[in-house]
Amino acid sequence: ISGVFWSFLNGRCVIFLAYLNIVCLCSASQMQTVTLIPGDGIGPEISVAVMKIFEAAKAPIQWEERNVTAIKGPGGKWMIPPDAKESMDKNKIGLKGPLKTPIAAGHPSMNLLLRKTFDLYANVRPCVSIEGYKTPYTDVNLVTIRENTEGEYSGIEHVIVDGVVQSIKLITEQASQRIAEYAFEYARNNQRASVTAVHKANIMRMSDGLFLRKCREAAEKHRDVKFTEMYLDTVCLNMVQDPTQFDVLVMPNLYGDILSDLCAGLIGGLGVTPSGNIGANGVAIFESVHGTAPDIAGKDMANPTALLLSAVMMLRHMGLHGHAKKIEAACFDTIRDEKVRTQDLGGNSKCSEFTDAICQRVRDMD
């Protein structure tokens, strides 16, 4: 009997081991590869911090590091290195640190190149007040969605006669429709109640008028989300008095640039603001929008919060809400705790200490 029992047990062990193997295979196939662009200045160190925290959280992310320095392609056109492009096209999701914009290097800014290469048409910036970092504004919880390809930044300028310059602001039906649709989809997918179109159609009757029309059309197709429209100046006026009245804001390029930075200022600046760029064909690049801070590069003084929160945004975009929540909570708890904070947040800890504190919290959560 013991012999039969033993072989029975063995059999079960084999089945159990086989089961384990299948489970391992399943979780291994859940590993997603993300292109990581560390960037310049403090970029590499904050990227390392983010990778460490993700590892501690056991997030199923594999990183593929790539460099993006402009190279001249055939025909003399500036482009990003082909291996970077290939990696992004394959992985579809990217995380980017700050890139320096060299003056008089002859080539356009890297951010512009990336935008053109992957047709990153929507810049999304969620601005949520950080509990541990006090600003005069509490309870900010809004998202700015900015059209990122045309508008005032089309770069088309001419000198008509000596002393008269004309800059062209381009608004197209296609781009306006695309951004409006995206705004409503985003609102729906993220359980946001309302979308506000920001415009200046009283002055720029045709251009902002077209933008507004497209937003109205998209609103018709998404009746479950409330739609309002507001003049840019009214938004600015109300934003600094009571930012809680805003939810999702959608707008053309220039207004988006100004408003998204205004909202970043409300929650504490670019050092703590995440940002994501959505492109055509499912490409999405999440980035920190602060500068490269060359004066503190390599000194272990940088604050990885912005890049970390952008990475959290990335996790949410990929559907990994559990991990996103864990890492975000750990980050906010660490800042709220006030014991370990980088210099820009008012403390005097090192970047590595801050990172380790977050890693510890993440591990403790399991």
Stated as kind and residue range, the H or E segment containing 143 is strand 141-147
Q: How far is the CB of 340 from another protein (least distance, A)?
A: 23
Task: Report strand pairing: 32-37 vs 93-96.
Answer: parallel
Residue 157 or 366 having the CB closest to another protein:
157
CB 362 within 8 A of CB 333: no
In the complex, the residues that contact another protein under the rule CB under 8 A are: 135-137, 152-153, 155, 157-159, 162-174, 200-207, 209-210, 212, 232-234, 236-241, 254, 257-262, 264-266, 269-270
The nearer residue to another protein, 4 or 164, going by C-beta atoms, is: 164
Please tell me whether residue 215 adopts helix, strand or coil conformation. helix
Is the torsion defined by CA of 291, 297, 299, 305 positive or negative? positive
Least Cα distance to 73 among 136, 117, 132 occurs for 117
For residue 95, the minimal CB distance to another protein (Å) is: 23
Identify which of residues 96 and 214 has a Cβ nearer to another protein in the complex. Answer: 214
CB of 78 to another protein, least distance (A): 17
* Segment (H or E) for 73: none
Closest CB to another protein among residues 93, 110? 110
Query: What is the crossing angle of helices 253-267 and 232-241, to 10°?
Result: 0
Extract the tokens encoding 5: 């029992």
Pick between residue 147 and residue 328 the one whose CB is nearest to another protein. 147
Is residue 121 within 8 A of residue 273, CB to CB? The reply is: no
CB 107 → another protein: shortest distance, Å?
15
79 vs 236, which CB is nearer to another protein? 236
Q: At what angle do helices 43-56 and 351-365 cross, to 10 degrees?
A: 20
Nearer to another protein, 32 or 109 (CB): 109
Shortest CB 32 distance to another protein, Å: 33
Rounded least distance, CB 177 to another protein, Å: 9
Distance of CA 196 to CAs 137, 193, 225, Å? Answer: 20, 10, 10
Give the Cα separation of 244 and 137 in Å (integer): 9
State the minimum distance, in angstroms, from the CB of residue 233 to another protein. 4
